[in-house]
């Protein structure tokens, strides 16, 4: 039943529409009723225009009321016939004259009036009489879209090299006439850029889907291939009027999520880090968006690729972010490493970088290369050399990083002032007392800075010797002392010291007196003071007498001994056996005493003491010193003491060489003299008679 009712209603409306068409084209053309407007109706009327329609005409034909009305029928209008009285919607209705049925209606044109039909006639007979006079007009309305919407798929940020679809559409009411949508590409600073090759725009139009809507809806799609250079750029869609005046505009700022293309660790020191110094490791992450996160891990040496053995130390690092290109951020994470001892060598530090565009973390690695000098030791061969031998000092090195590229230099100092206790200073500066064992222990106790000070202040570099070995030929005591070896490599400087002690045979000390005078029955003593290394020796006194040929030679040697205190006297091969002095046999029993002593400075003293001199005691004596470095013989003479006091004039010899005068004399032969005064009197020039100066000694 419902469907039958709807069909009948549709037929009724169709019949009524045919009647109106007949009135419009047949009856209306013959009618005297006119419908006029205040605007030109043959072109579209802009939305919002106030339209005044005036319905005027003659008297009605038969049965009408004589009242004119204006009816409006919109597309999809309401009511059973689709018409509505404009008086119900007009802003103003004016009866032009009381004597005439003319009427004027004013209303604001809206987009719903597009295609609307207006009929003017007698409302009582309009549409119900076949000869009803009427007038009609149809208007077209020009209107713009009310809004512009923009959305994108996927929403939000997009990963680099992915596609994004942006939809831009006018509102569902559409526009009349249809409008075009324009796309613009804007830089982050607002500059207009061209649409890239990776941007493709397509447009389509359709009729509005609203009930009674006559507008055209425009939709445009822009497909974008994401690239990091588009990050922060704006995509704008707009509806423009002629003259490129935008009436509606929407935009979206592109966010491109892109990963860093480079992650590296930059050490503050290249080529390795010297032991004990601090190194800074900077994990530099290239530009990315959003910023990357950095974590640090420490792995012990030789841990391999096992991640479980690492220890996270991210809280020790400092993060620094700097704006980069494409609207991204540069991230620098700096880790300060102070554990730089040789035991930490090969420790690995890993920088682990995570970022939204990365499928997996990026890891950068750095292994500590600790540079340190080798441990060195100086070895001398032979280990206990004597004068006259050749000595080789070798600088032995152990370890070091790098283990090649060593540069050697040798240094020497006779004595060194060690910055240690007074006892060590005293013993270290006295080479006679400082043993090789103590010297080695002393060197081992010195730190690096102390050694460096010693090398720079106390030692002199030996030029021309740059090898690992230093060869000293025919060494003497003057070549003894402290030798230093210095090695320089990429890890720094290593230094060490070696005390070279040269053994030498006994040497006469200048304080030794080889001629002694004594009266019979008086006390006399020979005292031989010598220097030797080592300061231990055996001695023996011999009596030669004064009648043999050896005694005459010995007297000449006594003079040599006196003039050259440090003369090195070789042991002789005796032709006849010498008589050794023994305190336990006659004639020296209970009269002669032999002693020996060693002072703190290493000097040895050997004495032969006569308690009471006899006639048989006068003559030549020899002290034989048997030493590790060689045996030596020293000669002495015991003379009778004369009764003369002072200097014996007969013993004075004066020789002159130019301006120099040499005076030789025998000292007084009495042991009671504690001071000797030699007066030299110069004669006047007149007394010399121009023969030169004469010298007369006086004692």
Q: Which of 54, 65, 56 is nearest to 93 (CA)?
A: 54
pLDDT band at 569; cut points 50, 70, 90: very low
Q: If you ran DSSP here, which 8-state letter would residue 86 be given?
A: G
| pLDDT at residue 6, as a whole number | 45
Query: Cα angle vertex 587, ends 585, 591, to 5°?
Result: 90
Whole-number pLDDT of residue 395: 96
Tell me what pLDDT residue 648 has: 66
Q: How many CB atoms lie within 10 A of CB 183?
A: 17
What is the structure's pLDDT at 121? 82
Residue-wise DSSP of 444-460: HT--HHHHHHHHHHT-E
d(CA 110, CA 115): 11
Number of other residues whose CB lies within 10 A of the CB of residue 555: 15
List the structure tokens of 204.
Answer: 């389509």
**Partners of 679 in the beta sheet?**
698
Our measurement of the distance from residue 434's CA atom to the centroid of its chain's CA atoms, rounded to an integer in Å, reads: 47
**pLDDT above 60 for 539:** yes
pLDDT over 70 percentage in the chain? 80
- Is residue 63 scored above 70 in pLDDT? no
The answer to whether 604 and 537 are in contact (CB under 8 A) is yes
Q: Find the mean pLDDT for residues 123-129.
A: 57
Taking the C-alpha atoms of residue 104 and residue 92, their distance in angstroms, rounded to an integer, is 8
Q: Report whether 486 contacts 460 (CB < 8 A).
A: no
Q: Which residues pair with 277 in a beta bridge?
A: none
Which pair of structure tokens corresponds to residue 357? 């565009």
Peptide bond into 154 cis (omega under 30): yes
> In angstroms, rounded to a whole number, what is the distance separating the alpha carbons of residues 258 and 263?
14
Per-residue model confidence (pLDDT) at position 349: 95
Side-chain-side CA neighbours of residue 28 (13 Å): 22
Say how far apart CA 594 and CA 540 lie, in whole Å: 9
Tell me the average pLDDT across 180-209: 91
Of residues 637 and 570, which shows the higher confidence score? 637
Give the model confidence (pLDDT) of 96-106 as tens digits.
666 667 888 89
- Does 505 have pLDDT greater than 70? yes
Separation between Cα atoms, residue 181 and residue 251, nearest integer Å: 12
Judged on CB neighbours under 10 Å (0-12, 13-18, 19+), 382 is exposed
pLDDT of res. 307: 67
pLDDT at 677: 59
Query: What is the biggest distance separating any 2 CA atoms in the chain, rounded to whole angstroms?
Result: 203
Give the whole-number percent of the chain exceeding pLDDT 90.
Answer: 49
pLDDT tens for 402-454 read 888 899 999 999 999 887 655 555 555 444 457 888 999 999 999 999 999 99
User: What mean pLDDT is reported for the chain?
Assistant: 82
Q: Which residues of 388-422 are buried (b: 16+ CB within 10 A; e: fewer)?
A: eeebebbbebeebbeeeebebbbbbbeebebeeee
CA 200 to chain centroid: 49
* Angle at the Cα of 46 from the Cα atoms of 41 and 48, rounded to 5 degrees: 115
Q: So what's the pLDDT on residue 394? A: 97
Handedness of CA 122, 124, 127, 131 (dihedral sign): negative
- Name all domains of the chain by residue range, CATH numbers in brackets: 34-142 (2.60.40.10), 148-257 (2.60.40.10), 263-371 (2.60.40.10), 375-419+434-500 (2.60.40.10), 505-562+578-640 (2.60.40.10)
Strands 256-257 and 245-253 turn out to be unpaired
Rounded to whole angstroms, how far apart are CA atoms 369 and 269? 10
Strands 524-533 and 504-508: antiparallel
pLDDT score, position 582 = 83
Task: Please answer whether residues 222 and 204 qualify as being in contact, where contact means their C-beta atoms are separated by less than 8 angstroms.
Answer: no
Compute the distance between CA of residue 595 and CA of residue 325 in angstroms, rounded to an integer: 98
């Amino acid at each position: 039943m419902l469907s039958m009712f709807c069909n009948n209603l549709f037929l009724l409306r169709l019949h009524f529409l045919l009647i109106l068409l007949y009135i419009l084209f047949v009856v209306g053309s013959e009618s005297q009723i006119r419908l006029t407007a205040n605007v030109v109706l043959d072109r579209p009327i802009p939305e919002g225009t106030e339209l005044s329609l005036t319905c005027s005409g003659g008297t009605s034909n038969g049965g009408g009321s004589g009242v004119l009305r204006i009816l409006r029928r919109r597309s999809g209008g309401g009511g059973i016939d689709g018409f509505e009285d404009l008086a119900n919607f007009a802003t103003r209705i004016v009866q032009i004259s009381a004597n005439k049925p003319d009427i004027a209606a004013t209303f604001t044109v809206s987009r719903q009036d597009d295609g609307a039909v207006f009929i003017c006639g007698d409302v009582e007979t309009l549409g119900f009489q076949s000869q009803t006079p009427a007038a009609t007009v149809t208007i077209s309305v020009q209107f713009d879209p009310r809004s512009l919407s923009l959305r994108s798929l996927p929403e939000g940020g997009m990963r680099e090299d992915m596609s994004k679809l942006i939809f831009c559409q006018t509102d569902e009411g559409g526009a009349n006439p249809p409008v075009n949508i324009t796309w613009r590409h804007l830089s982050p600073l607002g500059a207009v850029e061209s649409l890239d090759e990776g941007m493709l725009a397509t447009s389509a139009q359709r009729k509005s889907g609203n009930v009674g809507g006559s507008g055209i809806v425009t939709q445009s799609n822009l497909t974008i291939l994401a690239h990091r250079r588009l990050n922060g750029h704006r995509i704008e869609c707009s509806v423009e009027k002629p003259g490129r005046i935008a009436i509606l505009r929407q935009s979206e700022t592109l966010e491109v999520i892109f990963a860093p293309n480079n992650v590296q660790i930059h050490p503050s020191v290249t080529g390795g880090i010297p032991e004990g110094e601090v190194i800074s490791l900077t994990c530099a992450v290239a530009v990315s968006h959003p910023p990357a996160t950095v974590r640090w891990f420490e792995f012990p040496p030789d841990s391999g690729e096992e991640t479980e053995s690492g220890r996270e130390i991210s809280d020790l690092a400092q993060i620094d972010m700097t704006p980069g290109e494409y609207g991204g951020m540069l991230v620098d994470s700096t880790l300060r490493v102070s554990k730089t001892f040789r035991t930490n060598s090969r420790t690995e530090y890993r920088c682990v970088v995570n970022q939204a565009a990365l499928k997996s973390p990026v890891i950068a690695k750095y292994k500590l290369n600790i540079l340190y000098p080798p441990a060195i030791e100086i070895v001398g061969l032979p280990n206990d050399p004597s004068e006259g031998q050749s000595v080789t000092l070798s600088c032995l090195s152990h370890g070091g990083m790098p283990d090649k590229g060593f540069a050697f230099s040798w240094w020497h100092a006779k004595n060194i002032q060690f910055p240690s206790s007074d006892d060590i200073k005293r013993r270290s500066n006295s080479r006679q007392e400082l043993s090789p064992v103590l010297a080695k222990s002393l060197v081992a106790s010195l730190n690096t800075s102390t050694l460096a000070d010693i090398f720079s202040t106390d030692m002199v570099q030996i030029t021309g010797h740059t090898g690992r070995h230093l060869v000293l030929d025919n060494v003497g005591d003057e070549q003894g002392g402290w030798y230093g070896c210095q090695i320089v490599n990429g890890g720094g400087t290593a230094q060490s010291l070696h005390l070279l002690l040269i053994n030498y045979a006994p040497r006469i000390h200048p304080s030794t007196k080889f001629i002694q005078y004594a009266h019979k029955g008086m006390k006399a003593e020979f005292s031989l003071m010598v220097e030797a290394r080592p300061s231990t020796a055996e001695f023996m006194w011999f009596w030669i007498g004064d009648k043999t040929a050896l005694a005459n030679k010995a007297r000449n040697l006594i003079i040599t001994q006196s003039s050259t205190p440090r003369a090195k006297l070789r042991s002789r091969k005796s032709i006849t056996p010498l008589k050794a002095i023994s305190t336990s046999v006659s004639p020296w029993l209970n009269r002669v005493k032999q002693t020996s002593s060693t002072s703190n400075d290493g000097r040895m003293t050997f004495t032969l003491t006569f308690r009471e001199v006899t006639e048989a005691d006068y003559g030549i004596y020899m002290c034989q010193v048997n030493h590790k470095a060689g045996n030596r013989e020293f000669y002495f003479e015991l003379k009778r003491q004369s009764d003369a006091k002072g200097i014996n004039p007969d013993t004075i010899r004066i020789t002159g060489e130019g301006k120099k005068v040499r005076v030789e004399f025998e000292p007084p032969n009495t042991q009671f003299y504690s001071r000797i005064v030699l007066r030299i009197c110069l004669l006047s020039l007149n007394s010399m008679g121009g023969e030169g100066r004469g010298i007369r000694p006086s004692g």
